[in-house]
C-alpha cells in the first residue's frame, strides 16, 4: 500500500505506533498508523517486493529506517530523504547494523550511467534477466525500486530497512553480506535487451516502436558456438566493484527485489579487468598474459566518447541520448593450447611483445602502432581503427575462470564487454573482420552473446532507470 512520506517521523517503540507529520504545511494532519492499519513496517506484496518501495515517494530503499526515525521524542528531520537526498539524509550510524562506509564511492547520478567511462574496477558480477510479467506498471515499479536500491548500494548503504534492523517476522530487506564493507567503487549499469521491446512477436509493454534501430540483432559470426543458456536477456545489470563481495551482494539484492517480476537468465563473475579507461594506470593483463586495453578510450577523452560511445539525440532514439549500446560476449580461451605455444608465435598472434606490450616495430607500449610491421592476421592489426575505417569501441571486459570443464581444461576466458554508440558501426563490422581472419581464433571461441541498450544516467531524486523509455 502506498503511503505519503512525512517530513518528520517519530516512533514510540512500546506501542510500535508511528506518528507521521507531512512536510506540506497545508497538510499537517498527523497520520497515525498502527499495525492493524498498515501492517508492519516490513510488509511485502504478494510478489515479495517491499511495500515501502511501491510509491516513488516512499522512503528510498537505501535509507535505514533507524537512520530516519528518532526513538520517542527524538524525531529527525527527514525532508532531505523525502526529497530523495539519500546520501545527505543517511548520517546516523548504527553499531548493531555495522553500517557500510561510503568512502570510495562513485556518484550514482549523472548524464551517463556510471560503469561505462568511469575507471574500471577489479571485479565484475554481470547478470541478464528475463522479464516474467506482461504488466508495464509492475515492471516500472521494479525499475523504481531497483533505482533506489542501486542508489543506496553504490553509496555504501544497505537496501531498505537493512539486514538487521527489520522485524524478526519478515526476511530482511538487505541480505547482509556487505555490512561493514566499503562501497568499493561499486557501479551498477542497466541495459535493455531486444526482448524487452518485442518477445515472441508480442509488444508486452507498448514500447516496440521505441526499439532503437541500433539495437539490431547481432548476426551470426564465423566460429560462433553460442550457448542460448548463456546468451540474450531482457534486462542486464553490470555490477563492478573493487571487492567481489560487494558486486555479488548488489546483484543478489537486485535479483531478490525482482523476484516474481524477473528471473535470472544467466550471470557471469569476472576478475582481473582486461581493459582500462585510465591509460595512466598500469595496463592490466589478460589470461594470455598480454597487456590488454592499451589503446582503449580513456574516460577523460570526452570528444572520443561523444563520437564513439554515447548515443546522441538525433541518432534515431531520443530516449537513448546519453546512453550507450553494450555487446557482451563470453569468449572461451583455450589457455592450455596457448601455454604450449612459443613466445614468438604468441607475440606474432597479438602483434605486440609480451613484456612491455609494445607493438612490433615500436619500442614502448603507448607508441603508435606501425600496422604494416605486424603480421597480416595479427589481432591488433585487424582490430586497430586504421584497419576498420575508424571503428572504435570502448572495451571493459574481465577475465573469468569458472572451474574446469570435466576434460581437465580450465573453463576460462574473457568476458568481453564493449560499449559503443551504435553496434552496427562498432562491434559488428569489427567482429566480422576478426572472426574471418584473426590469428587468435585458433585459441578462442565465442560461447555466449548478448546485446543491450543502456539508457542515459539517472538525474534527480524522481528519476529512475528507464524513465526516458517508459516515462
Contacts to ligand HEM by CB under 6 A: 286, 288, 290-296, 331, 333, 350, 352, 369, 379-380, 383-385, 393, 414, 416, 427, 430-431, 434, 440, 444
Q: Select 87 or 350, whichever has its Cβ closest to ligand HEM.
A: 350
- Compute, in degrees rounded to 10, the torsion defined by CA atoms 176, 182, 187, 193: -10
The cell 556487505 sits on which residue?
178
| First-to-final CA distance of the chain | 22
Q: Please, where are the H alpha helices in 243-370?
A: 244-257, 302-308, 335-339, 343-350
Q: Least separation, in Å, of the C-beta of 272 and ligand HEM?
A: 12
Task: Report the SS3 class of residue 423.
Answer: helix
Grid coordinates of 136: 508495464
Q: Select 105 or 353, whichever has its Cβ closest to ligand HEM.
A: 353
Q: Least separation, in Å, of the C-beta of 333 and ligand HEM?
A: 5
CA distances, 156 to each of 82, 95, 104, 258, 461 (Å)? 19, 15, 9, 20, 18
Q: Least separation, in Å, of the C-beta of 117 and ligand HEM?
A: 16
Q: Select 184 or 414, whichever has its Cβ closest to ligand HEM.
A: 414
Q: Select 89 or 440, whichever has its Cβ closest to ligand HEM.
A: 440
Q: Select 86 or 440, whichever has its Cβ closest to ligand HEM.
A: 440
Grid coordinates of 67: 537512520
Q: Least separation, in Å, of the C-beta of 354 and ligand HEM?
A: 9
Q: Least separation, in Å, of the C-beta of 409 and ligand HEM?
A: 15
- Compute, in degrees rounded to 10, the torsion defined by CA atoms 208, 209, 211, 216: 100
Closest by CA position to 457, among listed 447, 467, 448: 467
Q: Least separation, in Å, of the C-beta of 350 and ligand HEM?
A: 5
Q: Least separation, in Å, of the C-beta of 2 and ligand HEM?
A: 46
Q: Select 134 or 442, whichever has its Cβ closest to ligand HEM.
A: 442
- Compute, in degrees rounded to 10, the torsion defined by CA atoms 148, 150, 152, 156: 180
The pairs formed by 103-107 with CB atoms below 8 angstroms and a separation of 24 or more are: 103/156, 103/182, 103/183, 104/182, 104/183, 104/184, 104/185, 104/242, 105/154, 105/155, 105/156, 105/183, 105/185, 105/186, 106/154, 106/183, 106/185, 106/186, 106/187
- Looking only at Cα atoms, what is the longest distance across the chain? 80
Q: Select 155 or 383, whichever has its Cβ closest to ligand HEM.
A: 383
* Strands annotated E in 22-122: 31-33, 70-71, 76-77
Q: Select 284 or 455, whichever has its Cβ closest to ligand HEM.
A: 284
Q: Least separation, in Å, of the C-beta of 395 and ligand HEM?
A: 6
Amino acid at each position: 500500500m502506498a503511503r505519503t512520506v512525512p517530513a518528520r517521523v517519530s516512533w514510540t517503540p512500546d506501542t510500535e505506533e508511528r506518528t507521521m507529520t507531512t512536510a506540506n504545511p497545508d497538510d499537517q494532519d498527523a497520520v497515525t498508523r498502527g499495525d492493524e492499519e498498515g501492517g508492519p513496517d516490513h510488509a511485502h506484496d504478494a510478489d515479495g517486493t517491499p511495500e515501502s518501495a511501491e510509491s516513488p515517494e516512499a522512503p528510498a530503499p537505501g535509507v535505514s529506517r533507524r537512520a530516519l526515525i528518532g526513538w520517542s521524542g527524538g524525531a529527525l528531520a527527514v525532508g532531505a530523504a523525502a526529497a530523495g537526498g539519500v546520501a545527505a539524509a543517511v548520517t546516523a550510524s548504527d553499531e548493531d547494523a555495522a553500517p557500510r562506509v561510503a568512502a570510495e564511492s562513485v556518484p550514482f547520478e549523472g548524464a551517463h550511467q556510471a560503469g561505462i567511462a568511469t575507471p574500471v574496477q577489479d571485479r565484475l558480477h554481470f547478470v541478464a534477466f528475463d522479464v516474467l510479467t506482461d504488466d508495464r506498471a509492475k515492471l516500472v515499479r521494479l525499475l523504481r525500486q531497483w533505482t533506489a536500491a542501486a542508489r543506496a548500494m553504490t553509496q555504501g548503504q544497505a537496501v531498505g530497512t537493512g539486514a538487521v534492523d527489520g522485524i524478526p517476522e519478515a526476511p530482511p530487506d538487505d541480505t547482509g553480506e556487505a555490512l561493514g564493507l566499503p562501497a568499493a567503487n561499486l557501479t551498477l549499469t542497466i541495459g535493455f535487451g531486444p526482448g524487452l521491446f518485442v518477445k515472441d512477436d508480442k509488444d508486452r509493454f507498448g514500447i516496440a516502436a521505441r526499439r532503437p534501430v541500433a539495437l539490431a540483432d547481432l548476426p551470426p559470426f564465423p566460429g560462433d558456438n553460442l550457448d542460448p543458456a548463456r546468451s540474450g536477456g531482457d534486462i542486464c545489470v553490470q555490477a563492478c566493484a573493487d571487492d567481489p563481495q560487494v558486486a555479488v551482494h548488489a546483484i543478489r539484492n537486485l535479483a531478490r527485489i525482482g523476484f516474481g517480476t524477473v528471473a535470472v537468465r544467466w550471470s557471469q563473475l569476472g576478475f582481473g579487468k582486461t581493459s582500462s579507461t585510465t591509460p595512466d594506470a598500469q595496463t592490466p593483463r589478460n589470461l594470455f598474459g598480454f597487456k590488454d586495453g592499451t589503446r582503449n578510450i580513456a574516460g577523460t577523452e570526452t570528444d572520443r566518447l561523444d563520437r564513439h560511445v554515447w548515443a546522441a539525440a538525433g541518432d534515431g532514439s531520443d530516449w537513448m541520448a546519453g546512453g550507450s549500446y553494450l555487446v557482451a560476449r563470453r569468449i572461451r580461451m583455450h589457455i592450455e593450447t596457448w601455454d604450449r605455444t612459443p613466445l614468438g608465435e604468441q607475440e606474432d598472434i597479438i602483434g605486440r611483445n609480451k613484456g612491455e606490450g609494445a607493438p612490433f616495430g615500436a619500442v614502448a607500449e603507448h607508441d603508435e602502432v606501425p600496422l604494416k610491421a605486424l603480421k597480416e592476421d595479427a589481432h591488433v592489426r585487424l582490430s586497430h581503427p586504421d584497419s576498420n575505417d575508424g571503428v572504435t569501441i570502448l572495451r571493459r571486459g574481465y577475465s573469468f575462470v569458472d572451474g574446469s570443464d570435466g576434460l581437465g581444461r580450465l573453463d576460462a576466458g574473457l568476458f568481453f564487454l564493449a560499449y559503443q554508440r551504435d553496434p552496427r558501426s562498432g562491434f559488428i563490422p569489427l567482429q566480422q573482420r576478426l572472426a574471418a581472419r584473426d590469428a587468435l581464433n585458433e585459441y578462442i571461441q565465442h560461447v555466449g552473446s548478448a546485446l543491450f541498450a543502456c539508457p542515459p544516467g539517472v538525474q534527480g531524486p524522481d528519476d529512475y532507470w528507464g524513465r526516458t523509455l517508459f516515462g
